[in-house]
Structure 1
Amino acid sequence: MTETVRKNRRLRPALVGMCLAAALTGISACADSTPSDSGNSKSPGRSSHRNSGAPAAAKPSTPAVAASLRMVENGDHSLAFHVTPGRLPALVLDAGGGEDSSYWKKMAPELAKKTGSMVVTYDRAGMGKSDEVPGAWKVENAVSDLKAGLTKLGITHDVILVSHSQAGEVATYFAKENPNWLTGAVLVDGSIPEFYTDEETAKIEAANKAQVEALKDQPSTRQTRQLLATADGYGPMHRAYHQVSWPQGVPATAIVSEKTPFETPDDAQLWRYAQQEFVKGAPNRDLVTAAKSSHDIAHDRPDVIVTAVGQMLKAAG
């Protein structure tokens, strides 16, 4: 799933697969990522005593310390984790498809300074400073990489995931496998199971078919290899994902962008509906709308994410 490729700008994919056509043709199939005004609204979705209420006041904290790089081995490949020390719960920031840890370069130090929490960002396999792994992208492998990194860092409890876009899939499977590790999660326009109906998945597969073939004719670069890896097996993976449920005991806040990742009204409405249905699944979930924001919420409305994280920390005590 990706955003538009513009001349003389690096590719900034948001939803690899879902918007792959945009990356290959330069025609926007996703909402543009442009800075916008401030503004905040909360949807009428369910709220919980753990997550609702006024924004939490930041705990007193010392000035944020610069993040240190830790290379972690998982099997035959290395992964780059960037750690800013602080208290628990730890905030683990996971970028969307095609993005590495640099996506959070402004938000990570801000969260560290305002909350005093440990902040971790990392590069998934094939991104940033992490090694490439041949073959199709599999969410199970991404979960294994994240778990290996957190284990090596000694962070196996009191974790809050902050997961953007495709990282919502990693978060869902991670939470299902390791619910006791998590204090909660903030899903930032996250890719969630409810969205991937058979009809929607088939539509995405059909839209991507020609573009994938075109991409195969392009020079092989790290970026094109990652796009092809993510597109490989997309349909079966997401039909299986549609059957997965977020664990009831793990609180979650779903932040949905006002524009959504889509320009087509039907797809945009399905995206909103899926987020609403996710929140209705348990009383410890909140739905927040990032007003005047594209899918790129971390850049358009970082304040919404900071507030949601603050509320999650407040609920955790």
Structure 2
Amino acid sequence: MTEGKLPALVLDAGGGLSSSYWKDLAPRLARATGSKVITYDRAGEGESDEISGPWRVENAVSDLEAGLKELGVTDDVVLVSHSIAGEVATGFVNENPGWVSGAVLVDANVPDFFTDDMLTAFAPAVEKQKNALLAQPSTKKNRQLLSVMVDYAPTHRAFHELTWPQDVPVTAIVASQTPFTDSPDAAQLWRDAQARFAQAGPNRKHVVAENTSHEGIVTERPDVIAGAVEEMLKAVR
């Protein structure tokens, strides 16, 4: 954590990634904004202990809530969430009204994407990825990714039912390549879902980060993310 003023920036990386994902962007944000900047490793990531069983977003939300309470940060938070951390952000903002002043979602999972049709069509790809991970040497990262695939469809059908509160500003930054480089159809569904999400509220913004990949977006276009965060802070301060 870097000390600073509120709103506090809470940076949350995607699946299989750790707080080191933000190692260059976090100090840049601290210098540019003067905000308190918090990074952390979710259970099973980085330096955190592994927990057996399937990954559950409710547990990740509870862990984040407990961690912020321990730091004394229980309001005026701006979430900066990448990939699956978008699910944590959505759960957190619903479970803790009044804590979150705004959010910047970085090519993040949004409820709009996980329709029944998408989950049915995507099932073979999930199984293929699962088998590929099982064929590799077992690592902490692989085990964490596999835990996300347990009950993937029912878990994400439940996520699809969630909505982002209308009173919490949010910017959705989308990588130009999307997570689905091998499936043009899935890539388009992702882009469409991100656009629908951004259009569903009066205080939402949609930004496409050109020349970026899903995992590499933070190092490929840190300027886009930093700019969105600074703009969000100006709006909520």
With structure 1 as the length reference, what TM-score do the two structures score? 0.72
| 2:148 counterpart residue number | 230
Map 1:154-303; keep pairs closer than 5 Å: 154-213=72-131, 215-216=133-134, 218-263=136-181, 264-295=183-214, 296-303=216-223
1:224 deviates by 2.7
1:209 deviates by 2.0
| Greater share of helix | 2
Pair 1:207–1:262, CA change in 2 (3 A): closer
Following the alignment from structure 2 to structure 1, what is the Cα–Cα distance between the partners of residues 130 and 120?
15
Contact 1:179 1:250 in 2 (8 A): no
Contact 2:68 2:74 in 1 (8 A): yes
Counterpart among 40, 44, 51 of residue 126 in structure 1: 44
Pair 1:243–1:231, CA change in 2 (3 A): same
Following the alignment from structure 1 to structure 2, what is the Cα–Cα distance between the partners of residues 227 and 316?
34
| 1:311 counterpart residue number | 231
Contact 1:179 1:249 in 2 (8 A): no
With structure 2 as the length reference, what TM-score do the two structures score? 0.95
| 1:142 counterpart residue number | 60
Gaps of 5+ in 2: none
1:205 deviates by 2.0
Contact 1:100 1:127 in 2 (8 A): yes
Deviations 1:218-266 (A, max 9, x none): 5443233212211111111011111110111111000111222222221
Percent pairwise identity: 59
Gaps of 5+ in 1: 1-82
Contact 2:6 2:76 in 1 (8 A): yes
Following the alignment from structure 2 to structure 1, what is the Cα–Cα distance between the partners of residues 103 and 132?
37
Which has the higher Rg, Structure 1 or Structure 2? 1
| Aligned-residue RMSD, C-alpha | 1.3
Following the alignment from structure 2 to structure 1, what is the Cα–Cα distance between the partners of residues 104 and 4?
19
Following the alignment from structure 1 to structure 2, what is the Cα–Cα distance between the partners of residues 94 and 233?
23
Secondary structure of 1:98's partner?
coil
Counterpart among 12, 15, 33 of residue 97 in structure 1: 15
Secondary structure of 1:155's partner?
coil
Which deviates more, 102-111 or 195-204?
Answer: 195-204
Pair 1:209–1:279, CA change in 2 (3 A): same
| 1:69 counterpart residue number | none
Following the alignment from structure 2 to structure 1, what is the Cα–Cα distance between the partners of residues 23 and 132?
33
1:181 deviates by 0.1
